[in-house]
Chains A and B, each alone.
Chain A
């Protein structure tokens, strides 16, 4: 460490109270920025949960106007044949998805997302479902439900205010059609809250109100060794439908949700507020810290320290408090995320969040530091001779 850098560090840490208030302001700002950004990332990730949980195929084929996974714009049943006719398709199966009303054993009416998967292959079902659970769909009236929702959204209220988890063997009514829970699956926590209920494609059509267009998606498996992007392009060209990989469909859904809901703006405002308040506190403290050292810095200038070197000293001080404050703040945010993650909080600390957060905090600190150092730059070293 250069001697004057060390001098700057000693000047910084010498006044413990000011040093701690500087660090505390930045801890607060960093905590808010990283925590809110990580919750935002967690929620954004969850928008694609249902898509990513789906298993066994390479492409989702859908109406080109579909914006997201919950946006149902069904295709004619002939779509399936058209897709199957495209060169490079190993197999293609229909998938039905619709929002329907379900009545629980206690008489409560809730909205559910009914997903009908191919009767023969049972492909397109949840990745986490066991072979036995999937096979149970071949039974009459069978449906699979999300295990995590058995004791929450799907809990059965009993007398005297108590409730019990929905259990395998329980009968529910979906759109006035009886269904029986024959198995469960474990879904990734989802941004969309209505429970997903899997059944077979034909049973889903039997349950749902009749519609001319009944195929929400066509799931496509490419032939071995086929270029997925080229196949998607051929499907688009040959059918006029959109053909997306799982990641592309999840990304499209995420973009739509972020653009069309207030989530991005709301989180953005919270992040910005935390950032502004925290950095204003830190900037104000840093500014007054530099000004309170005005006389010492003027003396250093008189003794031959150049302006650029004074600026570097302030930068060293900023990097120390900024780095420390950010490290503690980001650490606390990560800790709070891992503690609250168990309670179902959407939270993911990404490297992008950490790097952008660090950049933002250090930039604002440097800005505040250099604002204050401007006054020192203009400081007349002869002022040290004044009392």
Chain B
């Protein structure tokens, strides 16, 4: 995964000896036990492994939500864990897009308004932000459902709204937590295909945590984790529009 050729894409995310422990003393639990990792720009990386192996902790650290206990971290040249809380929140708002397993759409907002939330967080005026959300939804084939509330949408449609929300502010890092687990197989494949074709472009990194073996073929690289460590890495040659 690390850059080997002279003209290879630059490394976007680099971790070295990253650890994360929860609690202290007898109740101390090590969630990450020394992660070394480098992810290049323009790649879709999937994290797989059994429950409790540290996948969610790792993406929480990469996205600046959690801070590691020790180790080195660089995400697009910056270590979010060294920022103040406010600066870290600001960094997340500008740099990271999130796709959650349960979508986490705001139930009282329309699809277009939900898609606009990251722009609203950045202070973009309401109408302008919603217009951008509408445009993103149209790109994802949901142009006719912009005014629908989440409860009026199918699971696949809701996840597409979540993807539109994750991309609307053009973040460099897209973090997806089990984006297909709440969807049927066909819808799940469509969603991951959409993620790959829409999200992946030069300079952006997509990290997907998944248990879903069927979508692994969409990954540029697969990291297998177990007991807080990366135990295997594999790479696939894919075009961005596979």
A6 near B65 (CB under 8 angstroms)? no
* Minimal Cβ-Cβ distance residue in B for A4: B120
B23–chain A nearest beta-carbon distance, Å: 14
A307 cross-chain contacts in B, Cβ below 8 A:
85
- Chain A interface: which size bin? 20 to 34
Q: How far is A307 from B84 in the complex, measured between Cα atoms in Å?
A: 13
Of residues 164 to 204 in B, which have CB atoms within 8 Å of A's CB atoms?
177
* A305 part of interface (Cβ distance < 8 Å): yes
B56, B104, B126: the one within 8 Å of A3 (CB): B126
In residues 332-378 of chain A, which contact B (Cβ within 8 Å)?
A: none
Given known A13-B108, A14-B109, A304-B90, contact A7–B98 (CB-CB < 8 A): no
User: CB within 8 A of B109: which of A2, A10, A295?
Assistant: A10
Chain B residues touching A, range: 35 or more
Q: Are B86 and A306 interface neighbours, CB within 8 A?
A: yes
A267 to B60, CA, bound (A): 56
| CB under 8 Å from chain B, chain A span 279-305 | 295-296, 298-305
For residue A284, give the distance in angstroms from its CB to the closest CB of chain B: 21
- Is B124 on the interface with A (CB-CB < 8 A)? yes
Question: Restricting to A1-39, which residues have a CB under 8 Å from any CB of B?
Answer: 1-4, 6-7, 10-11, 13-15
Given A7-B117, A385-B60, A385-B177, A15 contacting B108 (CB threshold 8 A): yes
Check B126 against A6 for contact (C-beta < 8 Å). Answer: yes
Please determine whether B89 and A387 come into contact, CB atoms closer than 8 angstroms.
no
B108 touches A10 (CB 8 A): yes
Q: How far is the CA of A303 from the CA of B65 in the complex (A)?
A: 9
Report the separation of the CA atoms of residues A324 and B242 in the bound assembly, to the nearest whole angstrom: 55
B113, B126, B177: most-surrounded residue (chain A CB, <10 A): B126
Q: State A48–B123 Cα separation when bound (angstroms).
A: 58
Q: Chain A residues with Cβ under 8 A from B66's Cβ? A: 382
Most buried by B among A2, A304, A306: A304
Check if A384 is an interface residue, CB within 8 A of chain B. yes
Interface class of chain A by DSSP: helix
In the complex, what residues of A have CB within 8 A of residue B100's CB? Answer: 299, 384-385
The answer to whether A3 and B123 have CB atoms under 8 Å apart is: yes
A298 neighbours in B (Cβ, 8 Å): 104
Nearest CB of B to A158, in Å: 69
Output the least CB separation between A320 and chain B (Å).
14
Q: Which of A2, A300, A381, A382 makes the CB contact (< 8 A) with B123? A: A2
Cβ distance A235 to chain B, nearest Cβ, rounded Å: 68
Q: Is the CB of B59 within 8 A of A385?
A: yes
Determine the chain B residues whose CB is within 8 A of the CB of A385 once the complex forms: 56, 59-60, 100-101, 177
Q: What are the residues of chain A within 8 A of B129 when measuring CB–CB? A: 3
A302-B65, A304-B91, A384-B104 are known; give 14 further A-B pairs, CB within 8 A. A1-B126, A3-B125, A4-B123, A6-B120, A10-B108, A14-B106, A295-B102, A303-B92, A303-B93, A305-B89, A382-B56, A382-B66, A385-B100, A386-B56
A–B pairs, 17, beta carbons within 8 Å: A1-B126, A3-B125, A6-B126, A7-B117, A7-B120, A11-B109, A14-B108, A295-B102, A296-B106, A299-B104, A302-B92, A304-B122, A306-B85, A306-B86, A382-B57, A382-B65, A384-B104
Interface residues of A (CB under 8 A from B): 1-4, 6-7, 10-11, 13-15, 295-296, 298-307, 381-382, 384-387
